[in-house]
Amino acid sequence: AHFCRFFVEPKKEPSPARRRTYTTHSRPTQPISMTTPDVGAAHRREADESEAPENDHRERVNANCPCDDDGARSHLSDADTHADADARSRTSQTSSSWSEVSPPHTPAIMASLATYSSGDGRTVLPLRPSVKDYAWGIRGLDSRVARYALESGIVDEVDPDCPYAELWIGTHPKGPSTLSNGTPLQEKCGDLPFLFKVLSAGKTLSIQAHPDKSLAERLHSDNPQAYGDSNHKPEMAVALTPFEAMCGFRRIEEIAVLLKKHPEFAACIDKEAQLEVFVAGDEPSQAAALKHLFGSFMSCPEEKSKKQLSLLLKRLQYEQSANHPHPHEEPPWERKCARAILRLAQQFPHDAGAMAPFFLNYLLIAPGESFFMAANEPHAYVAGEILECMACSDNVVRAGLTPKFKDVPNLVSMLTYSTGGPSIDSGTPAYGDDRIMRYTPPCPEFEVLVVTCNPGESLVMPKLDVPAVFIVIEGSGSTDNEDGQRLVMRPGRTYYIPQGSSPLTLNVNEAKRGPLKIAVAHENLHADSPTAVNPKLPKTWRGEFGGWNGSVPASPVPTKRESNSKAQELAKNAALKLEGEVRDKLSIVNI
């Protein structure tokens, strides 16, 4: 006993794994727990511990002793321990926004990753997505993409000055996902028909549209460098935070009001195109007039558009200031349009694309809501974070608000010029469980499930007959299945579910602070019953907030009959005013 007391050190309890807690400053959110992804045997160990009651900021986890498949402990070497300490020090210096830091991957854990990632045909496998750092992304740890990339092991540290924009999950060659051992996902499942993304927008994206299949094939053939895919790109967005976007053309009546009220806007468009807007009657003539109007604006000489934009900004700044004698005399939708233009002009000085809100609906999408953008429809995302799923393509035709390649002639010719904006979809309960919300677009390549499991609950996921991928978007918990596989769920962890895998059961301990939410993407299994509104249905007005067939309009219109009568009166007055100015030109055209 005397010998043991002096020459044998008492066994120390393993230090608990330290957890990083980060809270965004741009919006109030629940702190997100971020730890290093340990899969395979480490997943089973974490799953067991995730069922234990949760303390304020720590869980008792022996992170330095991952278990092998037989349950035996594999102790790390001193060198690994020192490497972890050095990595913690570096990460703490780089990411000061984190209150605490957890150790990165160790050689022993990486070995278990490589062994586990081989799997069999039914094993759920962890993935490493691809990260894109476009100029419009959110910088540093304010970006959900950055936090997810850190959790997935894609990056060892987050650069506070880097704009983390998109996280790609799929097999697209520009950003293929891999298994944890580096094997491309494409080797496991072939080419997935969809591409699943997390998007963090801190700055407005370009005014753009995506081609249909026939146009995509032609563009790819004519200019493969600018258009690398021959596939179409319909896409659907599901908001994770309040999300701002410009989508689809405004109704022709609204554009007529804006032309009359803003002479700077009208000065960028020729008189004939303006007159067509005021006198257009049925939908085909409205679409033709809108095409002529938009084409005229996009072809306005750069010097002229810059001058008119400068004059417009001076006037709008005065009208939006407290010095204006009647700051609230215009309707709310017009004030929102003016503020949007001022905001875009700050981001893109001297770019006439800042006047895009005169043409496009400006929408605010709440978390949990979604919208679908079909091919050949104009849009530009403004700010916020979303899940985005699309056909496997990266074709984009741009026309403004970007330093990248612009293809104005193709954009003007390809658009459908339908008006009213997209329908807003809140999802529909699926598989007999209202905790599983289904978002189904009217295209066969993809659909999205958002699954919520509350503390103290278990939820059995549906068995899918197609390959799928999923990402944990918030909360924590564990999963298990009939094959005995157990996984730990943390925000940002991403997985591949092979076709025919045993259904996963989500489990969340009752001591957890909030629900576990995951987002699943797979081939569309409900193409015959989309949750998005069928665009072929006749448009009927559903009230100020319902819009046309559930869409969100830029301005309230009480009834379609009132709208038509006001539009006719406005068109008559405007036509009389413009008739003298364009009579000679129109007579020449008629001859």
Provide the 8-state DSSP code for 437: E
CA distance 506 to 459: 5
State the sign of the Cα–Cα–Cα–Cα dihedral 426, 470, 66, 501.
positive
Q: Is 34 exposed, middle or buried (0-12, 13-18, 19+ CB in 10 A)?
A: buried
Is the Cα torsion angle 137, 141, 143, 146 positive or negative in sign? positive
Query: Residue ranges of the domains in the chain?
Result: 251-300+560-591
Two tokens, residue 589: 């055209």
Choosing from 398, 486, 490, 493, which is the catalytic residue?
398
CA-CA-CA-CA torsion for 171, 175, 178, 184, nearest 10 degrees?
60
Give the contacts of 588 (CB within 8 A, at least 6 positions apart). none
Gap between the Cα atoms of 82 and 278, Å rounded: 74
CA 585 – CA 455 distance, rounded (Å): 71
What is Dmax (Cα atoms) for the chain? 117
pTM: 0.74
Q: Give the N- to C-terminal CA distance of the chain in Å, as an integer.
A: 116
Q: What are phi and psi for residue 296, nearest 5 degrees?
A: -65, -40
Nearest one of 93, 89, 96, 105 to 156, comparing CA atoms: 105
CA–CA gap between residue 105 and residue 76 (Å, rounded): 12
Cβ pair 252, 286 in contact under 8 A: yes
> Known catalytic residue: 144?
no
CB atoms inside a 10 Å sphere around CB 71:
9
Q: What is the pLDDT along the chain (591 residues), one digit of tens a residue?
A: 444 444 444 444 444 443 333 333 333 334 333 333 343 444 444 444 444 444 333 333 333 333 333 333 333 334 343 444 444 443 333 333 333 333 344 443 344 344 344 455 568 999 999 999 999 999 999 999 999 999 988 999 999 999 999 999 999 999 999 998 899 999 999 999 999 999 999 999 999 999 999 999 999 999 999 999 999 999 999 999 999 999 999 999 999 999 999 999 999 999 999 999 999 988 999 999 999 999 999 999 999 999 999 999 999 998 887 676 666 677 889 989 999 999 999 999 999 999 999 999 999 999 999 999 999 999 999 999 999 999 999 999 999 999 999 999 999 999 999 999 899 999 999 999 999 999 999 999 999 999 999 999 999 999 999 999 999 999 999 999 888 889 999 999 999 999 988 999 999 999 888 999 999 999 999 988 898 764 444 443 333 333 333 333 333 343 444 445 555 565 556 555 555 554 444 443 333
* Cα gap 491→147, rounded to integer Å: 8
